[in-house]
Amino acid sequence: MFSSRILTITALLAATIAAGAQTAAQPPTTLKDAYKGAFYVGVAINTPQITGKDAAGDDVIVAQFNSVTPENALKWENILSKPGVYDFTLADKYVAFGEKHHMFIVGHNLVWHAQTPESVFQDEQGKPISRDALLQRLRDHIFTVVGRYKGRIQSWDVVNEALNDDGTLRKSKWEQIIGDDYILKAFEWVHEADPQVELNYNDYSLENPAKRAGAIALVKNLQAHGIPIAVVGNQAHVSLRSPTAEVEDQTVKELAATGVKVAITELDIDVLPEVSWGSADVNLRAARDPKLDPYPNGLPDAVQKELAQKYASLFEVYWKNRAVMSRVTLWGLSDADSWRNNWPVPGRTDDCLLWNRKLQPKPAFQAVIDVVKKAQ
């Protein structure tokens, strides 16, 4: 009995030492742990993930990420069932999901040229409404939505994609009916509705110098009007080809020089032949063509490796600039979830994210974790 007790204690000790040694040597195995203290690592979540229908996906999301963005659930057309009538069923579930898992919750978005019902800009006869009437609708929308989640959503994409690629203001319905100051008004009202909430301007292709200059001018204009804009979101819908790490680094640094933090808000890396040439304009469409869809049965190893290297090179930039970075969010969990499978060509097989279609982590996942390991 005595010897068996010694054996048990010895075994326990050995196990404890082994576990200790393992813990000390064990590299982080989750994105949120790897980048802890540097910036949030987030993911855009879709309806099955918000509602719990994609239970396997939810397990990965909860284990790996500490921030969420709703891929569609908070956009105008998703919460306005008909003019003036809101349906917050899905949006409430989204916020509850983030709260349950103690995540940094992002609101996406309040003012955008897309996914906004035409009726928002029209009267009952279908005629365009006046500047004052549209301002009133915008104000009501902001106070309704931001007010509903006051203190629960931590960060709002107040205005999304207001710029053309040349840095000028997009002639959206908002701009045409209200004028350039719709941006200022939106920011003012969000700040009034929730003074604590982080205010973001969000856009794509800010790696393009002309567009970046437009974003910088927009931020400075808001600052000149006393708006405490906190973050510029660079969506980073990028490709294997571009931007280079150097350009990404310059983009982050120039945006941060305005005094705001930088968030990478919608990261994915296109591996397919490019049809969009760096744009993420949701209105772009191109016809199906087998030449544009070369990997329907899986990504060749060489491209898989290239993808991993590209992810690593971008995360190296974000890690190096961590003092000015607030968050890096991936635009979807697995390749099966990505909008890129249907844009700008419908029905392609893009492998642009960190988890594959079987929800297995890809080499790119480990490469992103290894960035921090190598830096320390």
Q: Where in the sequence numbering do the catalytic residues fall? A: 161, 266
Q: How far is the CB of 263 from ligand G3I (least distance, A)?
A: 13
Q: How far is the CB of 282 from ligand G3I (least distance, A)?
A: 4
Q: Would you say 34 or 108 has its CB closer to ligand G3I?
A: 108
Q: Would you say 248 or 270 has its CB closer to ligand G3I?
A: 270
Q: How far is the CB of 320 from ligand G3I (least distance, A)?
A: 25
Name the residue with the smallest CB distance to ligand G3I: 339
Q: Which two tokens stand for residue 225?
A: 């009007």
Contact 72, 147 (CB under 8 A): no
Q: How far is the CB of 44 from ligand G3I (least distance, A)?
A: 7
Q: Would you say 133 or 282 has its CB closer to ligand G3I?
A: 282
Q: Would you say 108 or 362 has its CB closer to ligand G3I?
A: 108
Q: How far is the CB of 221 from ligand G3I (least distance, A)?
A: 22
Q: Would you say 114 or 256 has its CB closer to ligand G3I?
A: 114
Contact 32, 65 (CB under 8 A): yes
Q: Would you say 63 or 284 has its CB closer to ligand G3I?
A: 284
Residues that bind ligand G3I (CB under 6 A): 71-72, 114-115, 160, 235, 266, 280, 282, 339
Q: How far is the CB of 57 from ligand G3I (least distance, A)?
A: 15
